[in-house]
Homo-oligomer: A and B are copies of this chain.
């Protein structure tokens, strides 16, 4: 037991329960929003979304929503799914030959290996407006004050954009094969992984109509959790457990990518991940919203390599 005064949760069971809810919601959402799309777009889009994964971002959104006093509702599921669609698009594009050139994602052929490069690129990009529509729909169904509806979609667009996720994607790509100092590596991942994870928690708070202090705490929590998550990801790549990683282990080294274990050693990286998780939890405690679930998610993000 840690010093944090919340009961430990069975995080595997928690993630699995939430994941099932998110996957069902994603399927319903795509059925509705892809109704008018030709199969040339809909098939690769569905394939990419169905490839699965942990659904960490929507789970974070749902958990943050409840921590901020929200009541579970279909509307917040739409918002959570919108975030996952942005994440999925980024994976589809990241895997393309011009980026990381990966053949497998979560044990299955990547979208371009299955449907071709053009279809994967175009259908990947098509997930972006789809994500915005999902968030708009969710905002409406939540009965948010109408002014907040535009806020949610704007926050998603900012997190996904050049100053956030895709900026980090390009910086990461540019850094391949170069020596990168720790502060630079952190800033790359704050953008590439952190911006969308922070937005996930933040949008959960906004969907609950939380006050600014709570939303800011959720942002800080999501950012620190994002860094912890990325460090653990890097460690997994080194320790070579492809199965748990869901992608080819050793790939970072192969691509000449800077990683946290390369800079800090495996033990140092693990300590750093733990410190980020502690920082995430502390941000919540300051606002009195350190629920058992959010605490468990932060620890999971930092320690999933162990």
Q: Mark A86-101, 1 if CB is under 8 A from B, else 0.
A: 0001000100101100
Q: How far is the CA of A269 from the CA of B57 in the complex (A)?
A: 50
Q: How far is the CA of A118 from the CA of B169 in the complex (A)?
A: 10
Q: How far is the CA of A235 from the CA of B134 in the complex (A)?
A: 39
Q: Does A14 sit within 8 A of B, measured CB to CB? A: no
Q: Mark A118-149, 1 if CB is under 8 A from B, else 0.
A: 11011111101110110010011000001101
A126 touches B166 (CB 8 A): yes
Q: A interface, by DSSP: helix, strand, loop or mixed? A: helix
Q: Does A228 sit within 8 A of B, measured CB to CB? A: no
Q: How far is the CA of A162 from the CA of B98 in the complex (A)?
A: 23
Residues of chain B lying within 8 A (CB to CB) of residue A35? 163
Closest to A42 in B: B162
Band of interface residues on A: 35 or more
Q: List 21 A-B contacts (CB under 8 A).
A: A34-B163, A37-B162, A37-B163, A37-B167, A40-B174, A41-B166, A41-B167, A42-B162, A45-B162, A96-B121, A99-B118, A125-B125, A125-B128, A125-B166, A128-B128, A129-B160, A130-B162, A132-B132, A139-B150, A146-B147, A153-B153
Given contacts A38-B170, A122-B166, 17 further A-B contacts (CB under 8 A): A36-B162, A40-B171, A42-B162, A45-B162, A89-B125, A96-B121, A98-B116, A98-B117, A99-B121, A118-B173, A119-B170, A122-B169, A123-B170, A125-B125, A126-B166, A130-B157, A132-B132
